[in-house]
Copies of this chain bind each other. A is one copy, B any other.
């Protein structure tokens, strides 16, 4: 699947691929679109939407669908958490706050560092790179804790 680019409209893309634009789906995409560059867990999104009567399984299934369709990308946080973000069209990695979960994008990609002999015969498929830290806001409030 080709990933969503910055200028594509996720809703149009879904329709063009034969999926229906339902209420829950629109609300979900709306949150993701108004928060480009931020990551959310399924639980985060459910919390924001549950007052509308949406079910967790609906959020879950839609995020999986959007990931399969290359509309959101999946980020693995520090403690086995899975977060989702609207695809931006350019490859990047993240800073993730251990305290509040806020994320920022970084453009440096470590794959450029790996030299030929370091491949040791492996055929690369993908990679993960995340920096865990404390965001400026949480630092201001003198957050201190041992990382999980």
Contact = CB atoms under 8 A, between A and B. Distances in A.
Given A106-B114, A110-B129, A132-B127, A95 B78 contact: no
A126 to B, nearest CB: 5
Interface residues of A, number: 38
A23 interface: no
Contacts of A126: 78, 131-133, 147
A107 B118 CA distance: 8
Interface in A89-111: 95, 97-98, 104, 106-108, 110-111
Contact of A95 (B107, B120, B132, B135): B120
Contacts of A134: 122-123, 125
Identical chains in the assembly: 2
Nearest to A79: B76
B113 A110 contact: yes
B127 A131 contact: yes
Contacts of A129: 110, 127-129
Given A76-B76, A80-B76, A80-B82, A98 B114 contact: no
B135 A114 contact: no
9 pairs of A and B residues whose beta carbons are closest in the complex: A110-B110, A121-B136, A122-B133, A124-B133, A123-B134, A127-B131, A125-B147, A126-B132, A108-B113
5 contacts: A108-B118, A121-B139, A122-B131, A122-B133, A122-B134
